[in-house]
Amino acid sequence: MNGVHNILNVERLSMRFGGLAAIDDLSLDVPVGKITAVIGPNGAGKTTLFNCLTGFYKPTVGSVRLNHPQRGTLLLETLPSHQVAHKAQVVRTFQNIRLFPKMTVLENLIVAQHNALQQASFFTLAGLFALPSYRRAEAAAMEKAVNWLTRLGLIEKADTAAGDLPYGTQRRIEIARALCVDPILLCLDEPAAGLNPRESAELNELLMRLARDEGISILLIEHDMSVVMKVSDHICVLNYGRKIAEGTPQEIQNDPNVIKAYLGEEDADEELHAEVAP
Amino acid sequence: MALAIQQLINGLTLGAVYGLIAIGYTMVYGIIGMINFAHGDIYMVSAFIAVTGFTLLASLGVSSVPLALVTVLVLSVLFTSVYGWAVERTAYRPLRGSTRLAPLISAIGMSIFLQNMVQLTQGARVKPIPPMFVGGIDLFTSEGFTVRLAYSQILIVIVTVALMSGFTYLITKTSFGRQQRACEQDRTMTALLGINVDRTISLTFMIGAALAAVAGVMVTVYYGVVDFYIGFVAGIKAFTAAVLGGVGSLPGAMLGGLIIGLIEAFWSAYLSAEYKDVATFSILILVLMFRPSGLLGRPEVEKV
């Protein structure tokens, strides 16, 4: 509960749709600079949690407090969608990729830096006349985009329309684009879905580097246990909208509640271990 | 032959005007997926602002035609963009997220409201402007017919070409253009990247209205008269142009405008001036039947 070490405090959050409680009285702390995974069976409320964090849904009850190093405590559930990224610097990706398919990869990354450009361009006026201040801002935006594209091994694809690229590449572009917003908290919704084992291993590497080298806190929804167990510092398990367990990967693997939720009542803990083993 | 060239000139002039209005339809459709049926009336309002401006300047003793023109253009663009903003803010934004039909009905309501407002405040009669832009260049005479290029036509074509290139640059190269295209493709995601989508939509309406305002001023200069009903017909024709070009496609809107302008001019000259609107709207029906995605629009492909 210590605000200094947690970037995000989810407090007694509930999200109801009619009679259905997609999230039911959930409290969760996301430690700063670490990778936190949210796992759980289908329909456990994981994506709903993300939707509550990023202004998609207004939670029925509860609050989501972001401890911003410069801007103090921000209540995410009260911010409009665009302020979640702009002011709170919380960015998310989607389970089904949402790039701008008709734009080039580079343009996708430049759009994400729109606010900096807009300020430099005095709302497009200077942009129209290509004043030096705007050209500098544009060069900076370009540099940042190129930097991330290079680091994610995407630079050759910079001028290709994003929609024409293979699935695994699009996933990486989506992460690169999110990084261009300068996130302090990056929420990834199943980033490993549809990736082959090699791509998935690269993703593990990337996530660990982002947390370790850039100090970006990561909140991760993932079904692929080889990713979750490898990269997570902290795991939170949801089932039917409630938190049923929380702890380190080792603790979670041995938690009877988790095994029950995933595999049913029978003592099938060996199966979970089999799935989890690298 | 001479008649054909004259009609080509007339058609291109008319088409430029339709094209400018059609861009407003196509941009708004691109970004929020609705047809803004009040757009034609925004254009009509701009023509009235132009008439007021010209009359005012004439009574103030401004005799320089370029000065009057530039002043009226600036005034009309400013006031009309405010109209565009206000229409979106009051009639469409509150309905965002409701059914697709709701803003459409609201748009028709807004169209009727603007027409009636102008009719009440300005009167129902045709309003003329002081004749300022008379004259032209006689190109050549053959078969007793003189092909004439009016100064106002030259003005319309030059202004339209300049505006179109500026606008293309704005959409393809500037930060606002990228944000606008991003909103077209995925509004939710655009917001999640920190872009103020509501503001982008407002600006889109304002730019559409500004282009319509230029068209309104040009038409006022060209024909010298306006009335409260011109928005309806011009609006539907520009809408036809947008559909013909492929709604959502900006070059398509311009191309569609030119084609509609040319068809109207040639139809009037060779077949029947009374039935020129029939020609235009038959095209609308044919396009919707045989090529709903328009000339330059890409058909929606559902990926599975």
pLDDT in tens, A171-208: 989 999 999 999 999 999 988 888 888 888 988 999 99
Report the candidate in A266, A262, A242 with the shortest Cα–Cα distance to residue A252. Answer: A262
**Chain B residues close to A128, C-beta within 8 Å:** 166, 169-170, 174
CB A135 within 8 A of CB A187: no
Contact A103 B179 (CB under 8 A): no
Whether the CB of B178 is below 8 Å from some CB of chain A: the reply is yes
User: How far is CA A141 from its chain centroid?
Assistant: 22
* Of residues B169, B175, B197, nearest to A121 (C-beta): B175
pTM recorded for the entire structure: 0.84
* Of residues A56, A91, A117, nearest to B175 (C-beta): A117
Contact A100 B189 (CB under 8 A): yes
Query: pLDDT category, B301, cuts 50, 70, 90?
Result: low
Whether the CB of B169 is below 8 Å from some CB of chain A: the reply is yes
**Percentage of residues in chain B having pLDDT higher than 70:** 98
Residue with the two structure tokens 């969608």: A81
Paired strand residues for A162: none
The predicted pLDDT at position B146 comes to 82
Gap between the Cα atoms of A65 and A77, Å rounded = 8
| CATH architecture of the domain covering B2-290 | Orthogonal Bundle (1.10)
* Of residues B170, B175, B188, nearest to A118 (C-beta): B175
Identify the DSSP state of A167. Answer: H
**Chain A residues close to B182, C-beta within 8 Å:** 100, 103, 111, 114
Gap between the Cα atoms of A43 and A212, Å rounded = 31
Report the candidate in B300, B27, B26 with the shortest Cα–Cα distance to residue B180. Answer: B27
Contact B192 A115 (CB under 8 A): no
Whether the CB of B139 is below 8 Å from some CB of chain A: the reply is no
**Chain B residues close to A92, C-beta within 8 Å:** 192
For the cut 90, the answer to whether the pLDDT of residue B124 exceeds it is no
Paired strand residues for B140: B147
Whether the CB of A111 is below 8 Å from some CB of chain B: the reply is yes
State the SS3 of A70-110.
CCEEEEHHHCCHHHHHHCCCEEECCCCCCCCCCCEHHHHHH
* Of residues A80, A81, A127, nearest to B175 (C-beta): A127
The predicted pLDDT at position A130 comes to 65
Average pLDDT over residues B86-113: 91
CB B191 within 8 A of CB B47: no
Contact B195 A114 (CB under 8 A): yes
pLDDT digits (tens, 9 = 90+) for A55-83: 788 888 888 888 888 888 888 888 888 88
Average pLDDT over residues A245-250: 88
For the cut 90, the answer to whether the pLDDT of residue A249 exceeds it is no
A126 to chain B: closest CA residue? B174
| Cβ contacts from A onto B, under 8 A | 85
Task: Give the other-Cβ count within 10 Å of A260's Cβ.
Answer: 16
For chain A, which domains are there?
Answer: 1-89+183-278 (3.40.50.300), 98-181 (3.40.50.300)
Contact A124 B176 (CB under 8 A): yes
Whether the CB of A46 is below 8 Å from some CB of chain B: the reply is no
pLDDT digits (tens, 9 = 90+) for B143-160: 778 888 888 888 899 999
User: Nearest-CA distance from B61 to chain A in Å?
Assistant: 33
User: Nearest-CA distance from A112 to chain B in Å?
Assistant: 5
Report the candidate in B180, B194, B203 with the shortest Cα–Cα distance to residue A81. Answer: B194
Whether the CB of A110 is below 8 Å from some CB of chain B: the reply is yes
Gap between the Cα atoms of B246 and B255, Å rounded = 9
CB contacts under 8 A, A 150-179 vs B, are 177
For the cut 70, the answer to whether the pLDDT of residue B99 exceeds it is yes
**Chain A residues close to B166, C-beta within 8 Å:** 128
**Chain A residues close to B186, C-beta within 8 Å:** 98, 100
Q: Quickly list H helices, chain A.
A: 46-53, 81-86, 105-111, 114-120, 125-129, 132-151, 167-179, 197-214, 225-231, 249-253, 256-263, 269-276
pLDDT digits (tens, 9 = 90+) for A88-115: 899 999 888 899 988 999 999 998 888 7
Report the candidate in B246, B270, B265, B266 with the shortest Cα–Cα distance to residue B256. Answer: B246
C-alpha dihedral (B213, B215, B218, B222), degrees to nearest 10 = -130
